[in-house]
Every structure is written in C-alpha cells, then in structure tokens.
Amino acid sequence: MLFSHLPRVRLLEEATPLLPLEHLGRQLGRQDLWIKRDDLMPLGGGGNKVRSLEFWLGQALQQGADTIIAAGLPASNLCRLTAAACARLGLPCILVHNAGQPAPLQGNSLLNELMGARTLYCGAVDEEARGAYVQALAGSLRAEGRRPYVVGDPAIGALGYVAAALEFAAQAERLSQPVQHLFISASAGPTEAGLLFGLSLLGTSFHLHMVSVEYEEAVFWQLCRPILVQLGHLLGVQPAVDPMQIATFYGDFLGPGYALPTPSCLQAVRRLAAAEGIFLETTYNAKVLDGMLTLLQREALPPGEGVCLWDTGGFPALFGQGAQFASPQP
C-alpha cells in the first residue's frame, strides 16, 4: 500500500534470509547475533542495489526508456546489478567506468561482460567529470532518437530500503528473540536513509548503527537528510519518530578512506569466513563488521537486545581485493 502509487519492477521475489550467526555468537558468548543476507539474491550475484533498481527501473519503464546507463568504477556493484537487471528485463545497458580498461577482466567487470553490457571507459577522471561524460552520452543518444535513463537518483533508490526495513521487521517479529541493533555501512546515503525512514515508521523498536566507509559525519548527514525529506514527499507519510532518534553514526572504523582497508577490517573478514563460511568484501561490509565486533567486545550492546549485521553484498569485489590480504597474519 505504501508503494502502490510508485512504479516498480519486481527483481526480488522473496525476502532475503535473516539468519543466526551461531558459531560467531558462541565465540563471543552471545546467542543473539544475526545476519541479514542481502548478498543472497537470485539476480546477478545480489546486493543492495537490486532493491533500488526495482524503483529506478520502474521509473525508467514508466518514462518509456529504451536504454539504461549506470556509471562507476569497474568494481562497482551498481554497474554489475544494473547490467543484471537489464539482462533480465531485455533492456540495453551501457556502463560508464571512470578508469582505463582493466586487463584481465576480473570480479564485477568480468561479470558485466558475461551479461552483455556495453562498457565505455572514460579514463581515470573524478566523479564530476564522469557525470559530465554520462550527460553528454545521454544527450547524443537522445539526438539519435533513443530514450536513455541514468540510474542513481538517491531518493528513488532509497525507496527500496524503506521496503527492506518493513521486510526485516516482519522477519524479526517471527524470531524467538528480539533484534534491536542493526549495523549497516554509511556511504552515499540511499540505503541508510531508506532504512532509517522505514524503521522509524515503526517507532523505536530498532536502532540503526551506521558505520562510515566513506565520509565524515557532517558530510554524511548532508547527503542523507535531503533523502529523508524527499522520501516523505514520495511516500506521503511521515515517520512516527524522528529518524535521528534511532540512528548512531560511527566515523572511527573508516581508516585511511573509501575502499582503503584497515588491518582490523581484514581481520573481521577472516573471522566471519572462518566462523561461518560467509564472505564479506573490504570496501563496505568488512568495516561494518569491524565496528559491530568492537562494540560487542566493549559490551556496548546489552545481551538480550539482539544484534544484526546487514550484509549489503558486493562479494564479487573480493576477487579484486586479494592483494590486501597478502601480508602475513599476526
């Protein structure tokens, strides 16, 4: 009902698994650790962008688009999942990478080629120059009579995570124990804003711990707040509580910067793999788990309140991150 007036294509037929982290929990002396597996989706290797693409491509089809464009680095999960959704929907997809062509293709860029996406490399320029390249590309396609749609609008993308928040709450209700604390990466904002908005529609039962993988706190809120406002307009509802009331931001697990690993995030990847057979990449989820483990070790999350890692996916990127693990273990 909340979304019935908004165009949406279904790419995810079922809820992603919410599973206990039993072995890791035993190691830490807790029985209330969970993981929300947004890395496990039937489409394209899965990941958070699938939820956003349901609304981006819904809007694209409503506008009569006949070509979909996504931009990012060759390792971008947005690009991979856009190519996957376009493959399934039979839409031509163009990917723009601000890099030279990697050789050999690996990780996401290999998958993009397998899915038949057309890939353009605009050289190692910044995001602004890449954006200008994309606009020029869209302009020239329009001049040829095509109808391009560029994915990425933050508020439209955030709708997918408002829906995800409700999906999670319904799953959490069926568990034998409560889950109160959710951990997620803090990056460009759509995922976080969507979750914050969706969870705060439900009151104060859940707390969202956002671990920065990219920006300092002030910059993050500059990105996130306008999305929250736009979600209110798009959905025509306002949350029962101020989303800020259920949010905590952590800047201290970022290390040297975006996509630059810290020793403790690499340890966190090893720990989850060794305890549970679950793989995290180092750009996003490794730092989130590092933050979650640190707070658990500090006993900052009372037993019985339930703690969940929200795995946003991106596992194929791990195959390009091997060199980060090359130094011997302490």
Ligand X SMILES: *Cc1c(COP(=O)(O)O)cnc(C)c1O
Name the residues that contact ligand X, by CB under 6 A. Answer: 47-49, 77-78, 185, 187-192, 284, 312-314
Contacts of 263 (CB under 8 A, 6+ apart): none
Residue closer to ligand X by CB (options 77, 109) is 77
**Closest approach of ligand X to the CB of residue 328, in Å:** 27
Start-to-end CA distance of the chain, whole Å, equals: 53
Nearest to 117 by CA among 68, 178, 59: 68
Tell me whether residue 263 is exposed, middle or buried, using C-beta atoms within 10 angstroms of its C-beta: 0 to 12, 13 to 18, 19 or more.
Answer: exposed
CB closest to ligand X, residue no: 314
Residue closer to ligand X by CB (options 32, 182) is 182
CB 121, CB 99: distance < 8 Å? yes
Contacts of 166 (CB under 8 A, 6+ apart): 2, 198, 201, 202
Residue closer to ligand X by CB (options 25, 115) is 115
**Closest approach of ligand X to the CB of residue 202, in Å:** 20
Per the listing, tokens 């993009």 go with 112
DSSP lists the bridge partners of residue 119 as: 95
Residue closer to ligand X by CB (options 137, 159) is 159
**Closest approach of ligand X to the CB of residue 162, in Å:** 12
Residue closer to ligand X by CB (options 181, 287) is 287
**Closest approach of ligand X to the CB of residue 187, in Å:** 3
**Closest approach of ligand X to the CB of residue 298, in Å:** 24
Residue closer to ligand X by CB (options 180, 185) is 185
Q: Is residue 188 helix, strand or coil?
A: coil
**Closest approach of ligand X to the CB of residue 302, in Å:** 27
Residue closer to ligand X by CB (options 8, 287) is 287
Residue closer to ligand X by CB (options 77, 98) is 77
Nearest to 287 by CA among 311, 323, 316: 311
DSSP lists the bridge partners of residue 150 as: 69
**Closest approach of ligand X to the CB of residue 312, in Å:** 3
**Closest approach of ligand X to the CB of residue 157, in Å:** 7
